[in-house]
Chain A
Amino acid sequence: MVDGNLGLLAWGADGWGDELAAGLRITVLLALATLPFGLALGFLVALAKNSSEKSLTAAAHIYTTIFRGLPELLTLFIVYYGGQILIQEIVNLFTETYVEVNSFVAGMVALGLVLSAFSSEVFLGALRAIDRGQVEAGKALGLSRWQCLRLVTFPQLIRLALPGLSNLWLVLLKDTSLVSLIALNDLLRKTNIAVGATKEPFFFYAVACLIYLFVSLVSSIGLTGIERHVNRGRQRA
């Protein structure tokens, strides 16, 4: 059954190869666009959680409880439909134009919120694993608080947080498939379209799964390289 299907993956008008590749491009772009936003927010949330200020930790805990507890799909729908309603209401205050929320941006925001909640836990674990003496020594050398963070804490933080963050990147890649449900033309939605046209669901979904596997395999190799790079100072010791 599958043998005769390989032609379906041809490039150009007859096959679905180029469509799937275009979908893959969106999937990877979405994951890459979400990453910096989610990690930066996650780091700030981790700093808040690590703070001695009670009100700050409380606010951060509410944040992570919500975005770690909600199903990703529900977060996505709330951001997409809720964002639509909210922005429309705001626009209606000024003019009567119809606005439509871009599904790429909605996906980026929703996945970024989820990623930030989970990555804050990873960052927090890493922050707590760094010896207090490091920051104290930095202060003793006359570094400002910002310099301590940038020059002393951060380089060690990356090394400690990297295994957890690698894991979250692989989770993020898989979670991007959810945006196919808000009509963004990612890999899975392109696959759905191909299935609708060819009536070959098993073949195309299996191909999509293999592509996801391939992407996570390539990422794993890249991440191992990065891990080796940040650990380079420790191997000799």
Chain B
Amino acid sequence: MTIETATTSDTAAPPPETARKASPAHIAGLALLGLWAVIGVALLGYLVRGFDPGFFAHYAPKLLDGLLVTLELVVVSILLGAALAFPVALLRISQNRLLAMLSFSYIYLFRGTPLLAQVFLVYYGAGQFRPLLEDYGLWWFFRDAFNCALFTFTVNTSAYQAEILRGAIQSVERGQWEGARALGLHDWVIFIKVILPQAFIIALRPLGNEIILMIKASAVASVITVFDLMGQTRLAFSRSFEFQVYLWAAIIYLFLVETLRRVWDRLEAWLTRHLKLNN
């Protein structure tokens, strides 16, 4: 009691706030943020000043069409790639040396070469082998640039996804296998019911990154006359020489990638909610 009164009465006015010393980091940070603000305002001013309603009305719907093509390319190739990645990953970790080697070469080949070169190889290569493809009844598929891009992306992403899946499966602790075996489960049952669910959790983050990489990489489809978002943008630029369309496309791509990243973070948090310590 006495102590309390003593302290309250003894308390002097709080010391005056010392002016925060402007450290070099603080100045640099403010300067850089200021620079971003200037760049942002300049770009916005450029977009607003050069805004032409007629141009916008003509090209905006085309860019949106292109966005749909981009989404179709990415969604379909990611899903088909996932289906293909599964057997590839299983072969990669199989005991059979030959199968493991084959699968390794497949992964190495597609991860080690530029996607752009692969797209050219498939698209122009298919044209060269037209008679052969016609004999096998495959020409209708490879005749279309969109299908060629879809095929290349699928194969390419399957190699990346297989590697992600392999890493995830192998990083599940050995004890999980041993524990499940001790319970008398069959190896396949262990794999599907014990190992895979845990592997998927581990694979979740790299898989999200792979989807983002695919969204960005899908822009190369535009070089073989696929009118995805990038293709429509390049077409609009080549017709109008209006640099603005590239900035519009940049905004759309950034929006797409950021949205996916956030959604994926939520998804991951939701799927791993049972692993959180304090809920």
Collect the chain B residues with CB atoms within 8 Å of residue A180's CB.
116
Complex partner residue of B28 from A56, A170, A212, CB under 8 angstroms: A56
Is A205 a contact of B219 with CB atoms below 8 Å?
no
- B118 on the A face (CB < 8 A): yes
Shortest Cβ distance from residue B213 to the other chain A in the assembled complex, whole angstroms: 9
Interface size on A, residues (CB 8 A): 49
Which residue of B28, B112, B127 contacts A201 across the interface (Cβ within 8 Å)? B127
Q: Cβ of A178 < 8 Å from any Cβ of B?
A: yes
Prevailing SS type, chain B contact patch = helix
Residues from chain B with Cβ under 8 Å of A139 in the complex: none
Interface assignment of B249: CB less than 8 Å from any CB of chain A: yes
Contact flags B214-232 to A (C-beta < 8 A → 1, else 0): 0111111011000000100
Given contacts A56-B28, A65-B258, A81-B237, contact A209 B36 (CB under 8 A): no
Q: Does B68 reach chain A (CB closer than 8 Å)?
A: no
Tell me which residues across on chain B come within 8 A of A177, comparing CB atoms: 114, 116-117
Count how many chain B residues have C-beta atoms less than 8 Å from C-beta atoms of the other chain.
48
Which residues of B42-76 are within 8 A (CB) of A? none
Residues of chain A with a CB closer than 8 A to B258's CB? 65, 69
CB <8 Å contact, B219 and A212? no
- Nearest B-chain residue to A180, judged by Cβ: B116
Q: Given contacts A81-B246, A201-B121, are A53 and B116 in contact (CB under 8 A)? A: no
Question: A55-B26, A202-B124, A213-B108 known; 4 other A-B pairs, CB under 8 Å?
Answer: A65-B254, A73-B219, A74-B219, A195-B124
Interface positions of B (Cβ within 8 A of A): 23, 25-26, 28-30, 32-33, 35-36, 108-109, 112-118, 120-121, 124-125, 127-129, 212, 215-220, 222-223, 230, 233-234, 237, 243, 246-247, 249-250, 253-254, 257-258
